[in-house]
Amino acid sequence: MTVEPATTAEKMGTGYSEHPDPSLAAEECVRAALGDRIPSEEDLVFVFPTIDYEPHAFLEAAERHAYPARVVGCTSFAGFTRDKQVSRGCVATYLPANGGSFGVAAVNPLGNDVFGAAKRVAEVALERCGEVHPHSVLLVLSDGLAGDQREIVRGTYAVTGAKVPLVGGAAGENLTLQNTYQFAEGRVMTNGVVAVWINTPHRLGVGVRHGWHPLGRPQIVTRASRNIVYELDGRPAVEAYFEERGAELLNHKSIGGQVMNHPFGVAVDSGRYEIRHIMNRVEDSLVLFGYVGEGAVVRVMESDCDDLLGAAALAAGDALAGLDTPPRGALVFSCTARVPLLGDRLPSEIAAVSDGLGGCPAAGFFTFGEFARVTGTTGFHNATVAVLAF
């Protein structure tokens, strides 16, 4: 049987703007994403602005120009489309319902009960999705500074179970680590989580790869709290980490630049690794971007540009394999940490995803952590590419 390619009306649309005015930037990127199509109230428009814009003015303009489609999104470290890297500006994607349905919900603030907030937002999104189709994915956008992002995965899993995949990203900003913003239900949130339950008559594809490989032997986290690792195998974490790398600690005050290309890989049940970047040190302890529990098995990891870009292509291939129709487009969630690692080759990452999906539209943003779970109960990542193909 011959499968016809997706029509222009069915495909996802992408747009961007680098205009400094929030209202004009929102108008430009949304209009570009829509093209000459008229949205319906069943459709969605995703927006990923950098932190440079006044968020209320940006959202008001985005909603006005996307109407009657609903607008969801969050701030980013940077955004991208197949044709443009946007370091300061905004990216928009238009996703026609195409016979499916979207349930949108938001909770703000997350507060101290991240698990409970994630569970509630997933429940409401499922309820609002309305008509039930045989294929579903839950997309989440969270405050990237909201504590243990693993609780987002656990809370949503209490609703999705093992059969509904999870994908999304943690909102970012320009590395001041002060505030991120999330957008949904006409609201601007600073400590929220947005959930979009997607039901469709056709299969959706989720792919997740990182391109990192073990360098050192396995080590056990013997003392940790939140995102700080104090001991590995009963030894001071800084000492054990650098010894395993076979490298000398050159700067005793700040090690962030020395460790960017050698994060930890946390072993998970699938036999793969979830990456945790090391931000810095506090005395003899390591500060991670993401939580790691005591008893976790970790390994020092390494990679290079070719492997990182190859992982993006593999993630696209995995997402494509999950589809039963030609791809209409892809939302891509890539980590802020990959930006300096890829350097001048950064545009090749989104190109690899788009090419892996037959050249279909693709866009997304650089996150403060990626969500992706196809099987199992884990699914929070650093330095990783997650792809949702429609």
Which residues touch 173 (CB under 8 Å, ≥6 apart)?
A: 50, 51, 75, 76, 77, 144, 179, 180, 368
How far apart CA 47 and CA 75 sit, in angstroms, is 8
Place of tokens 């994607």: 93
Identify the pLDDT of residue 374.
83
| pTM of the predicted model as reported, rounded to 2 decimal places | 0.94
| Average pLDDT by stretches of 10, the chain with 390 residues | 53 97 98 97 98 98 98 98 96 95 96 95 95 87 94 96 95 94 98 97 95 94 96 96 80 71 90 90 92 95 97 97 94 97 96 94 97 84 97
* Vertex 81 angle, CA 77 and 86, to 5°: 40
The H or E element spanning position 90 is strand 90-95
pLDDT for residue 252: 55
**pLDDT value for 4:** 45
Q: Considering only the top CATH level, what class is 213-302?
A: mainly beta
| Closest CA relative to residue 17, chosen from 62, 57, 55, 56 | 62
Each domain of the chain, given as residue ranges in start order, spans 13-209+308-389, 213-302
- Residue 377 CA to residue 193 CA, distance in Å, equals 19
Handedness of CA 368, 300, 292, 388 (dihedral sign): positive
- pLDDT one-digit tens code per residue, 97-135: 999 999 999 999 998 999 999 999 999 999 999 866 789
Question: How high is the pLDDT of residue 217?
Answer: 93
pLDDT of the residue at 33? 98
Nearest 5°: phi and psi at 246?
70, 30
